[in-house]
Chains A and B, each alone.
Chain A
Amino acid sequence: MTASTPSVTPASGQTPARRFNWKRATLHGFLIVMSVIWLLPLLWALYTSLRPFSDTAQHGYVSIAHTLTLDNYVNAWNDAELIRYFFNTAVIVVPAVIIVLLLSSMLAFVLSRYSFKFNLAMLLLFLGLNMLPPQVLITPLYQMFRRQPELLYDQYMGIAIVHIAFQLGFCTFVLSNYMRTLPKELNEAALVDGASVWKTFYAIIMPLTRPAVAALAVLQVTWIYNDFFWALFLMSTGSKFPITSALNNLKGQYFVDMNLVAAASLLVALPTLIVFFALQKQFISGLTLGSTKG
């Protein structure tokens, strides 16, 4: 079916010009209503965040704004020292994403290029475990972490390692599926040229896998940035919390009115909204690489 004949049914003989328009109008009407509903919470947050508290106190939240200001953003940012929590998040996200992509690339390479039955069983196990709710593991992990206060408990490294372990299966699955689509002859050619396994990996296979790695990197940054759970139980010092876990605690102390809450929410959502606006393609292909072949 081509673009020029969207929904005219060939079976009906007469030219249904009127009915066609009516159908399209309903379709667009429905989609516009849905889109507005879907955009409303964030637009509402944006609108509230731009109004001074005095304005909303006087006229109510559902009212026409008399003044717009960025003061709420400045205040939320400064009072709650948000920069500190963004920094905490970065200290966890950056190493975790780099290491998980490195490890899963190697694992996927071995699995897809030198497949053994054992490897396949291992991948299935890793992938299956990664799909578990994290609450299944939290009790033993908490006990383990408590016994390693220098390395794990209340440490950025501990949180990063848990993310690495918990994302490895998914990343390996996506990357090995991608690598399987590369021609087998590449390996043979490399072998004939005398390249070692390592060289085949980083000089031949990895450059070709770059699009999948990029998509996964965007997805993993978003997911790990968004994680709320692990730090909540595996960290104890509030000021070391990553931003997503810290937000709720900061509310009672610093975000005393809805205008500040709205500004803080959008500041915390901002990095992921940047992903949405700037890296949409990578994010979506990261999500769908795992669910479709190749």
Chain B
Amino acid sequence: MVAIPTVVVTIFVIIPTLLSIIWSFGTWNGIGDPLSRTNWVGLWNYEILFTKYPFFWPAVQHNVIWLVWLAVLATPLGMFLAVLLDKNIRGTRFYQGALYMPVVLSLAIIGFIWGNLIYSPDQGFLNSLLGTTSSDDTFIDWLGNRDLNLWAVLVAASWRHVGYVMILYLAGLKAVDPSLREAAQIDGANERQTFFRVVFPVMRPINIVVVVITVIESLRAFDIVYVINKGLNGLELLSILVTNNIVGEGVRVGFGSAIAVVLLLLSLIPIITFLTRMLRDDSI
């Protein structure tokens, strides 16, 4: 009962993760036998990555912007909406449905819909609405302009993230003991105080999950950017840089693995936070 799943995970997840780490210290180019055709060069790949590779620091910056955007705007908005919709107001099911609908969509199709139908220079909704067209060259190139495209993509990504966070908090709020709120209100706390001083701290398990999801989502970001322009021209991300070194002429397994290891190390921060909290709260 335990053997089969263990074997599957070992072969397809654990070994590849370890290989990523090992290969990042060598120069294998993907051809032939990795054992005999690798020069082991220590941290050389990392040195190139940090000092010479022109896309690395921009990609890190974009991942950081992604995280800050989600953490400062999208996640709090999702939480705020959950708080509003948790009350017994008329039409709450409609509002919840509208806000949560994008959560069932993939980020790939979100990139496809927003990239083509909303942001397209010629026929997109925004340029059509603004009356800016390609014929008189006034159109706004939402996805082609390096200063603009990351923000345009983040708006599209938030379309999904807000609903996701909202669902998690709605579940969390339902689980809060109503007598806590009553007690706070009898003590004279207003709604805001009740939420921040009583309800929010009680939702700690959900808060941790949401923080972890926010960080992981910003490291995992890939599909939406790849669909839009394969992650070029201002949309570089760490995940994209890894895949640029897999196939084609420029296969550099060692170098690509070094980027993957950076991504791995960054991902370990939220993952370990999550797992230790789970263990401590006895939720596992």
Q: Which residues of A contact B (CB under 8 A)?
A: 1, 3, 6-7, 9-11, 24, 27-28, 30-32, 34-36, 38-39, 41-42, 44-45, 48, 56, 60-62, 103-104, 106-107, 109-110, 119-120, 122-144, 161-162, 164-166, 168-169, 172-173, 176-177, 197, 201, 222, 225-229, 232-233, 244-245, 247-248, 251, 257-258, 261-262, 265, 268-269, 272-273, 275-276, 280, 283-284, 287-288, 290-293
Contacts and interface: CB of A to CB of B under 8 A. Distances in A.
B94 A137 contact: no
A271 B15 CA distance: 34
Interface of B: 1-2, 4-6, 8-9, 11-17, 19-20, 23, 30, 34, 81, 84-85, 87-91, 94-95, 97-109, 112-114, 116-118, 120, 123-125, 128-129, 159, 162-164, 167-168, 171-172, 175, 178, 181-182, 185-186, 188, 190-191, 205-206, 209, 212, 216, 219-220, 222-223, 226-227, 238-239, 242-243, 245-247, 253, 256-257, 260-261, 263-264, 267, 270-272, 274-275, 278-279, 283-284
Given A62-B128, A126-B9, A27 B99 contact: no
B8 A165 contact: yes
B120 A110 contact: no
Chain B binding site: helix, strand, loop or mixed by DSSP? helix
B260 A136 contact: yes
Given A61-B125, A119-B2, A269-B109, A45 B117 contact: yes
A39 B84 contact: no
B108 A41 contact: no
Contact of A38 (B2, B23, B98): B98
Given A6-B89, A265-B117, A169 B108 contact: no
A291 B13 contact: no
A284 B163 CA distance: 11
Q: Which of A9, A139, A292 has the most CB of B within 10 A?
A: A139
A287 B190 CA distance: 32
A164 to B, nearest CB: 6
Nearest to A245: B108
Interface core residue of A61, A287, A291 (most chain B CB under 10 Å): A291
Contacts of A45: 113, 117
B263 A133 contact: yes
Contacts of B186: 10
B1 A107 contact: yes
A123 B6 CA distance: 10
Given A6-B87, A128-B272, A257-B123, A135 B9 contact: no
Contact of B2 (A110, A137, A248): A110
Given A31-B91, A139-B242, A265-B109, 13 more contacts: A7-B191, A109-B1, A131-B212, A132-B264, A133-B220, A137-B16, A137-B260, A139-B260, A140-B17, A140-B19, A173-B284, A244-B109, A261-B112
